[in-house]
Amino acid sequence: MPPKSTQAIEEAILALSERLSELHASMEVRHDSLAAVVAGIQQQLNTMPSPSFSSPSLPLPNPPPPPPLLHSPTPLKLPKLHLPPFDGSNPLDWLFQAEQFFAFYQVPPEQRLDMVSFYMQGDALGWFKWMFTNRQLSSWDAFVRALELRFGPSTYDNHQATLFKLCQRGTVTEFQADFERLCNCVLAEAKCNDIRRSPAPFRPAAAPPLLPAPPSQPPLPVRRLSAAKLQSRRAQGLCFNCDEKFAPGHKCKSNQFLLLLADDSEAADFPPLPTDHLPPPPPAPPLFLSSEPAADSLHFQLSDAAFSGPPSSRTLCLRGNIFGHGVTILIDSGSSHNILQPRLAAFLCLTITPTSPFPVIVGNGASITCAGFCPVVPLQVQSYKASLPFYLFPIHGADVVLGAHWLSSLGPFLSDYSIPSMQFYHNGVLVTLAGSPSATPDYASFHQLQRLVTTKSIHSSFLLSVHSSSDASPSPDDTILSAQSFHPDLYVLLTKFQHIFLIPHGLPPPRPQDHHIHILPHNGPVNVKPYRYPQSQKLLITKLISDMLREGIIRPSTSPYSSPVLLIRKKDGSWRFCVDYRALNAITVRHRFPIPTVDELLDELHGASVFSKLDLRAGYHQIRLAPEDTHKTAFRTVDGHFEFLVMPFGLSNAPSTFQAVMNGIFRPFLRSFVLVFFDDILVYSKDWRSHLLHLKQVLQVLSTHSLFAKLSKCLFGVRSVEYLGHIISMDGLHADPSKLQVITDWPIPTSLTAHRGFLGLTGYYRRFVKHYATISVN
């Protein structure tokens, strides 16, 4: 575009100058008008009367609003704060945040309770709903008090003492955090303590005024008068209680209670008194029925049979009851009074009158002390009923002893210890009491035994175990074949493989199925402390450890694993060394190798007529343990820490490993003429010639794989054999007579639980009983 001419530019400048002049004039006019308005307002303010502060009744006028600013600042935008929800934890911290939140937003107290319901969750929400529904929250202050009472710290917590005992046990940051938390709690409690202390001066005194205690006499000393002092006082005519002369009607000035005990230790220093001047002994006291016991220990006698004698044919024992509770009663003329066991009195809640303790010498020389007196005890013995007094003595024989005190009240009576029985007249009626035969002890369940212990009905209990006079050991001919014991053909065959029946020494050869122990991930070594063993088992464990070390199946260990040892008795009386691997089994990966059932094995025996059974010697010990897992089998005894090099008894996967080994080596013959159930091998054939061939093949397999059998537990070429709890013969399958004998001898069930237990025992043999269901119902 061509440039403009100078004339055009000057015209534009002139037009702009005129426009600027107009705008300036307009601004001057507006400024003058605004100044006039401000001057008018100022004049009005000056003409207004000033307020008077002398009259308080006049209200103060509101100050005039400030003049509007030409440039007002931008208002500050408040940040959006968030109050965390309350779930019941840290109530004091949450209350502090809630107070700050409502104060920042200037929420009045009457609206806080409505707003706080939106910030509750979990247990706190359930508590708030219950309190709100029951109108327990009337205000914000009531809500705060209720929340502190429900979720706050216990009033028994002493934060001042905790702060005083605070010590640094971690980092400085942790110590500072604990210090600040306790300080906050102490500061919060300070106001409450001030409130508790403030009204104390205005409370009336609750305790009575302190008064001087009335003067009391010091307790009188207890004096023991020996036999010498008693004799000296008797010779001088002095009172035993005081030092004054004794005369009929004498009363001591000070009431004293003295127990006079004869001192046997000094009796040998004085000669015996002459007996020709002593008066005759007083007659036996009549039957005592009052509530005051005549505790005259000089006339109290207790026989040895009453103290600890068990019932026998030479004693007369009866069965009776006290308040319906059965008791054993001993009729004993050698005991002077009626005796009752204290534990029975406590169990029956009888009324016991305390007596002064006095010793009684028993027939065996022992001394027991009376534990109390029961004045009236209702006793029923068959058709005889009476209420008798009893002294409480800790006897170990019968529960109740009826002595000469009771016998003397009967008058003439007839007793016959050969039956045994006794007869007497009671209220004009002939009473015959028949002795109870010795009852067979009954079995007690765990709950019954626990109740007896709780009620203190058991005087003493013992744990008994049967020990043989000598440890069973292999017989000398356990590994020697006898020609007289076998068929000639069998003897020739077994002699060829005689090494199979020897005792193995050393470790078995490695096999593809060596035992492995796979531990579940994230599990450390198990370490269980050993059990306590009786002395006989300690010696046996030491012997077994020595034998296993000599045979090389264990070795000393430094493994972090450790399990306790158990001894299990075998059928032949010897002991099996087992280790309690339950803790190890709990973290072991389980194998799922199928174990054959007894039913499916026995189904293969149809048509067989000749049988041989072989039992391996310590079968598990003929399987090696993987070298990387030997440390996991470590066990601890009094002889040290050891670990197995062969598969031990007690591992969870040991049966699967052993069955896999046996199935692997006998796989070509399984279910043809061989059955294998762990270490029990059964060879069966239809005739004798084929059986010899089958047995030879089985023995050859055992020899090839270095497996050893125990000759004393083997049977060869028989027509009937016991296998897996059954009797197997050419006639079929039969139940084991020993098992049937156990069922026959089983006691008749008397309860539903016992009936179910009996059916569980016999249920396995229902295949041998025709109409078993009908018989069991009847």
Mean pLDDT of the 370-396 span: 88
Asked whether the beta carbons of 489 and 692 are under 8 A apart, the reply is: yes
Where along the chain do its domains lie? 91-188, 297-436, 479-733, 737-777
**Which residues, 6 or more positions from 358, have their beta carbon under 8 angstroms from its beta carbon?**
295, 297, 300, 369, 370
Q: pLDDT tens across 384-405, in order?
A: 988 899 988 888 778 888 888 8
Least confident segment among 150-154, 547-551, 661-665: 150-154
- The pLDDT mean for the chain works out to 77
Distance CA 449, CA 429 (A): 41
Packing angle, helices 91-104 and 172-197, rounded to 10: 80
Quote the pLDDT of residue 378: 92
Asked whether the beta carbons of 562 and 528 are under 8 A apart, the reply is: yes
Asked whether the beta carbons of 61 and 52 are under 8 A apart, the reply is: no
Quote the pLDDT of residue 267: 37
Quote the pLDDT of residue 309: 60
Quote the pLDDT of residue 312: 58
Least confident segment among 288-302, 423-437, 439-453, 547-561: 288-302
Quote the pLDDT of residue 474: 46
Q: pLDDT tens across 326-356, in order?
A: 888 888 887 888 888 888 888 888 888 888 7
Q: Pick 312 or 280 by higher pLDDT.
A: 312
Residue 649: is its pLDDT beyond 50? yes
Other beta carbons less than 10 A from residue 611's beta carbon: 23
Asked whether the beta carbons of 340 and 377 are under 8 A apart, the reply is: yes
Mean pLDDT of the 105-118 span: 84
DSSP summary character for residue 252:
-
Using CB atoms within 10 Å of the CB of residue 585, give its burial: 0 to 12 exposed, 13 to 18 middle, 19+ buried.
middle
Please report which confidence band the pLDDT of residue 164 belongs to, taking 50, 70 and 90 as the band edges. Answer: low
Quote the pLDDT of residue 59: 43
| Nearest alpha carbon to residue 574 among 651, 470, 646, 500 | 470
Quote the pLDDT of residue 527: 92
Residue 314: is its pLDDT beyond 70? no
Other beta carbons less than 10 A from residue 475's beta carbon: 11
Q: Pick 545 or 174 by higher pLDDT.
A: 545
CATH (residue range 297-436): 2.40.70.10
Quote the pLDDT of residue 586: 92
Q: pLDDT tens across 487-535, in order?
A: 888 888 888 898 888 888 888 888 888 899 999 998 999 999 888 888 8
Q: pLDDT tens across 26-58, in order?
A: 888 888 888 888 888 877 777 765 544 343 443
Mean pLDDT of the 281-309 span: 51
Asked whether the beta carbons of 414 and 358 are under 8 A apart, the reply is: no
DSSP summary character for residue 678:
T
**Which residues, 6 or more positions from 747, have their beta carbon under 8 angstroms from its beta carbon?**
754
Please report which confidence band the pLDDT of residue 200 belongs to, taking 50, 70 and 90 as the band edges. Answer: very low
Distance CA 402, CA 302 (A): 11
DSSP secondary structure of 125-189: HHHHHHHHHTT---SHHHHHHHHHHHHS--TT--HHHHHHT----S-HHHHHHHHHHHHHHHHHH
Quote the pLDDT of residue 519: 92
Quote the pLDDT of residue 751: 83
Please report which confidence band the pLDDT of residue 199 belongs to, taking 50, 70 and 90 as the band edges. Answer: very low
Please report which confidence band the pLDDT of residue 179 belongs to, taking 50, 70 and 90 as the band edges. Answer: confident
How many percent of the chain have pLDDT more than 70?
Answer: 76
Fold of the 479-733 domain? HIV Type 1 Reverse Transcriptase; Chain A, domain 1 (3.10.10)
| Nearest alpha carbon to residue 285 among 233, 337, 320, 328 | 337
Q: Pick 42 or 322 by higher pLDDT.
A: 322
Q: For the chain, what percentages of helix, strand and coil (3-state, to nearest 5) are there?
A: 40, 15, 45
Please report which confidence band the pLDDT of residue 585 belongs to, taking 50, 70 and 90 as the band edges. Answer: very high
> Amino acid identity, residue 360?
V
Paired tokens of 441? 């002890």
Distance CA 421, CA 305 (A): 18
Distance CA 758, CA 777 (A): 12
End-to-end Cα, the chain, rounded Å: 131
Runs of H (alpha helix) within 497-554: 535-551
Distance CA 448, CA 442 (A): 11
Reduced 3-state DSSP string for 366-429: CEEECCEEEEEEEEEECCEEEEEEEEECCCCCCCEEECHHHHHHHCCEEEECCCCEEEEEECCE
Quote the pLDDT of residue 581: 92
Mean pLDDT of the 658-664 span: 90
Length of the chain: 778
Asked whether the beta carbons of 314 and 337 are under 8 A apart, the reply is: no
Radius of gyration for the alpha carbons in the chain, expressed in angstroms and rounded: 52
Mean pLDDT of the 267-286 span: 39
Q: pLDDT tens across 53-104, in order?
A: 343 443 444 444 544 444 444 455 667 777 888 888 888 888 888 888 888 8
pTM flag (> 0.75): no
Q: Pick 4 or 294 by higher pLDDT.
A: 4
> Amino acid identity, residue 247?
A
Tokens 């089983």 belong to which residue? 746
Q: pLDDT tens across 675-727, in order?
A: 998 888 999 999 999 999 999 999 999 999 889 998 888 889 888 888 887 88
> Do 297-436 and 479-733 fold alike per CATH?
no
Residue 208: is its pLDDT beyond 70? no
Asked whether the beta carbons of 580 and 546 are under 8 A apart, the reply is: no
